[in-house]
Structure 1
Amino acid sequence: MAKPSFLPPFMFGLLFATFGVILSAKYSSITVDQSALLALKSHITHDPHNFLTTNWSTSTSVCSWIGVTCGSKHYRVTALNLSSMDLIGTISSQLGNLSFLAWLDIHQNSFQGSLPVELTNLRRMKYLDFGNNSFNGKIPLWFGCFSKLQTLSLYLNNFIGVIPSTLSNLSKLEMLSLGGNQISGRIPNSLFKCKELKFLSLFNNSLEGNIPTEIGNLTLLKTLHLGINHFKGKIPSTIGNLTTLKVIDLAYNNLSGEFPLVIGNLTSLRELYLSYNKLTGEIPLVIGNLTSLRVLSFGNNKLTGEIPLVIENLTSLKILYLSNNKLTGEIPSIIGNLISLTEIDLGLNYFTGEIPSTIGNLTTLEAINFSYNNLSGEIPPVIGNLTSLLMISLFDNNLTAKKFVTP
């Protein structure tokens, strides 16, 4: 008589044990994530809309909690979006236990304090937005450990100190937003090793020194915001390498010298802000190459000469701001070709002659400022046909108005 085989029961037991280990590991992992999120919840002192108070409950799955996204394979938390919830609190160190987290967005809240070093455990991180909060202290050096990071946004906080050179380790970084803090010092040259950058914003800080010539290495850059700082010296000619640029903001600095002619290479440019600097010389003729331009803001500099006639090429222009310079000559009649204009400000210059009647072509105009010049002659009656006009300032000239006699 054959002996009974114990193999099937043994295999069944082995499979059951293995399945149990998998279930246990899965349950243990999701419990780790739950504990990390509950620790974050405990650090939030004000939840005015009760988003987390009522929704983040142990009676429901973590993956169903508001702002939480889990991966379909491991059911681990991969994304956390608590943006614009008006939350007040601090970031708990346990947040670093969300080891599968790749997306963290808590912008537009009132989180405060410093960032815990335990966040360095989040090695999968690709998107990190802490913007518009109240974080303080120095920008951590350990941000450089997020080798997969593509977006780093820390704008409108209270960060101090310098831009850490370790950011140069972020070879995949496409967006860096540090504006609206209290950052000082110079831009480290190492930052321009991040050649994948498409968006760079350092506006409204206390940065100083020259704009590094290495900025020309960022050949994929589309947006550059360096306004409201203390930069000095000339605009580097290497900026002409950035042919994909759509927005340049260098306003409210101490930049000097003439415009680099290579600015004519930037044919994709839509917005150019250079106001409130110490730029000299004439408006270059190459400005006529920028046919996609919508905003041209050169006000409050030391520019001389006349408005170049090539400005008629800028038919997409909506805002023309040239006030408070030393510009001379007449306002060219070709200004009437800029049929998309909504604002024109030529005040505080030395313009002479009459206001061209072609201004009547600018039917979308909402604001005109020609004050503090040497204009003469009659105010064109066609201005009365500009039905979109909300503001007009012509004072301190030698203008006359047509008298209407009532029958």
Structure 2
Amino acid sequence: MICCQCYNALSSSVIEELPSSIRNLKHLRHLDLSSNAQIKMLPDAVVTWFFRIYLICCEVASCVTMAAQTNLNITTDQFALLALKARITNDPQNIVFTNWSTTTPVCNWVGVTCGARHHRIAELNVSYFGLTGTIPPELGNLSFLVVLDFKNNSFHGILPQELACLRRLKFIRLGNNKFMGVIPSWFGSLFKLQVFDLSGNQFSGSIPATIFNLSALQRINLSYNQLSGRISREMGNLTMLKEIYLDSNNFEVGMCVDFSEIPNEIGTLNHLEKLSVQQNSLKGPIPMTIFNMSSLTIVTFYGNNLNGRIPDNICQNLSNIQWLNLGANQFNGPLPSIFGQCKQLLRLDLGANSLTGIHNINCIYLIT
């Protein structure tokens, strides 16, 4: 019913123009625009808002339907893992094939941790098992799951939409597998997510806008994929972020060469400690807001097409910086003499730029 309500609102044949302020109705559950004249245009902001609401409505309805059809208990969890086992085609260490057996309580299976209070699976960690296979939709029935860790295996294919039902999930680590396709928009409905790691896969397209609804997110790692498009200004909405890794993709903005392709809004993330956007296609200067972030300990923009000057007061503002890598870009102007005041600095890479002069050779000894 929720999906139908959302869909009918979008498909009516409707009014002249809808005000963009409607997206401020954060508690709206039903919108009826039927029996109107033809819509001439919807503002982009409203289209994005409608799309997000529609997806979340459908995902919630899907999860409610699954819960109604299934008596969710530890047996349900066991069936979900047996469905995963059936999808595994290679288990080189023979862990899952021999240990995941109905003769053993599921909470004693290798890689499985159950909660003490509710006795349901809270953590599924098969990282570094060397497994090959695909993810079954039944994993969406692990309704008490908090940690899902599949990193360093050879899982492939697309991620089933049923994973959107894992509403307690806080940590998802799928790095270094062979997943492909676009990053699913339903990740944006997992509002408790703190760690989001899809690095080292074959995901393509842009980062879905729904990701920027995850207000609890502390770590995002999308490095080593085939992602492209804009690094969204909405990254600044993720105010709890401590770590951003977007290395080795093809992020860019494209048209205006005088405009920085790194959003100023990243500089408003007061908890950010690590920022790594190496080997992309970024152009323009680094926003001064980033050079003013005292929380940062690691900043790496190696291997882009960034330009401009390195500010003279860089050490004064980046007072906790330990690793600064701006190598292989197009920075120009004199090398700041103030690097000797970066008391925490352990590693500095400014090579392969167009920098000139070292005004204070003593700075080299202070940072080596």
2:336 is matched with 284
RMSD: 1.3
State the SS of the aligned residue for 2:275: strand
1:309 Cα deviation (Å)?
A: 3.5
Report if the CA contact (8 A) 1:233-1:256 is conserved. yes
Per mean C-alpha deviation after superposition, the further-off stretch among 109-118 and 203-212 is 203-212
1:180 Cα deviation (Å)?
A: 0.2
1:23 is matched with none
1:28 Cα deviation (Å)?
A: 6.4
Provide the TM-score with structure 2 as the length reference: 0.77
Q: 2 CA distance for matches of 1:54 and 1:304?
A: 63
Report if the CA contact (8 A) 2:338-2:363 is conserved. no
Matched, 1:51 2:95: yes
1:92 Cα deviation (Å)?
A: 0.4
1:312 Cα deviation (Å)?
A: 5.1
State the SS of the aligned residue for 2:355: strand
Report if the CA contact (8 A) 1:236-1:260 is conserved. no
1:307 Cα deviation (Å)?
A: 4.8
Listed one character per residue, the Cα deviations across residues 53-97 of structure 1 (whole Å, up to 9, x for unaligned) are: 110000010000000000111110000000001000000000000
Counterpart amino acid of residue 275 in structure 2: L
Report if the CA contact (8 A) 1:200-1:225 is conserved. yes
State the SS of the aligned residue for 2:252: strand
1:167 Cα deviation (Å)?
A: 1.0
Q: 2 CA distance for matches of 1:277 and 1:253?
A: 5
Report if the CA contact (8 A) 1:52-1:66 is conserved. yes
2:272 is matched with 221
State the SS of the aligned residue for 1:38: helix
Counterparts of 1:171-186 in structure 2 under 5 Å?
171-186=215-230
1:268 is matched with 320
| Gaps in structure 2 of 5+ consecutive residues | 1-70, 254-260
2:190 to 132, 146, 157: 146
2:46 is matched with none
Counterpart amino acid of residue 330 in structure 2: K
Matched, 1:130 2:174: yes
1:306 Cα deviation (Å)?
A: 2.6
Listed one character per residue, the Cα deviations across residues 303-347 of structure 1 (whole Å, up to 9, x for unaligned) are: 1123523515724x3xxxxxxxxxxxxxxxxxxxxxxxxxxxxxx
Matched, 1:248 2:276: no
1:233 to 274, 284, 307: 284
1:301 to 353, 356, 364: 353
Q: 1 CA distance for matches of 2:72 and 2:357?
A: 73
1:61 to 102, 105, 115: 105
Report if the CA contact (8 A) 1:239-1:262 is conserved. no
Q: 2 CA distance for matches of 1:307 and 1:251?
A: 24
Counterparts of 1:1-400 in structure 2 under 5 Å?
29-209=73-253, 210-264=261-315, 265-311=317-363, 314-315=366-367, 317=368
Decide whether aligned partners of structure 1 residues 147 and 309 sit closer, same or farther in structure 2, where only a CA change above 3 A counts: same
State the SS of the aligned residue for 1:230: coil
State the SS of the aligned residue for 2:196: strand
Report if the CA contact (8 A) 2:337-2:358 is conserved. no
Counterpart amino acid of residue 293 in structure 1: L
Q: 2 CA distance for matches of 1:99 and 1:87?
A: 23
Q: 1 CA distance for matches of 2:223 and 2:161?
A: 22
Q: 1 CA distance for matches of 2:183 and 2:237?
A: 19
Q: 2 CA distance for matches of 1:173 and 1:314?
A: 36
1:29 Cα deviation (Å)?
A: 0.9
State the SS of the aligned residue for 2:282: strand
Report if the CA contact (8 A) 2:336-2:359 is conserved. no
Q: 1 CA distance for matches of 2:230 and 2:182?
A: 15
Counterpart amino acid of residue 347 in structure 2: V
Report if the CA contact (8 A) 1:219-1:241 is conserved. no
Q: 1 CA distance for matches of 2:232 and 2:170?
A: 23
Report if the CA contact (8 A) 1:281-1:302 is conserved. yes
1:292 Cα deviation (Å)?
A: 1.2
Listed one character per residue, the Cα deviations across residues 99-155 of structure 1 (whole Å, up to 9, x for unaligned) are: 000100000000000000000110000000000000000011111111110000000
Counterpart amino acid of residue 114 in structure 2: C
Structure with greater strand percent = 1
1:267 Cα deviation (Å)?
A: 1.6
Report if the CA contact (8 A) 1:275-1:297 is conserved. yes
State the SS of the aligned residue for 2:101: coil
Q: 2 CA distance for matches of 1:312 and 1:299?
A: 14
Counterpart amino acid of residue 95 in structure 1: L
Decide whether aligned partners of structure 1 residues 274 and 28 sit closer, same or farther in structure 2, where only a CA change above 3 A counts: closer
Listed one character per residue, the Cα deviations across residues 251-274 of structure 1 (whole Å, up to 9, x for unaligned) are: 100011111335221121111111
Q: 1 CA distance for matches of 2:201 and 2:271?
A: 27
State the SS of the aligned residue for 1:261: coil
Q: 2 CA distance for matches of 1:150 and 1:111?
A: 23
Per mean C-alpha deviation after superposition, the further-off stretch among 283-292 and 83-92 is 283-292
| Gaps in structure 1 of 5+ consecutive residues | 1-26, 318-407
Provide the TM-score with structure 1 as the length reference: 0.70
Q: 2 CA distance for matches of 1:212 and 1:257?
A: 16
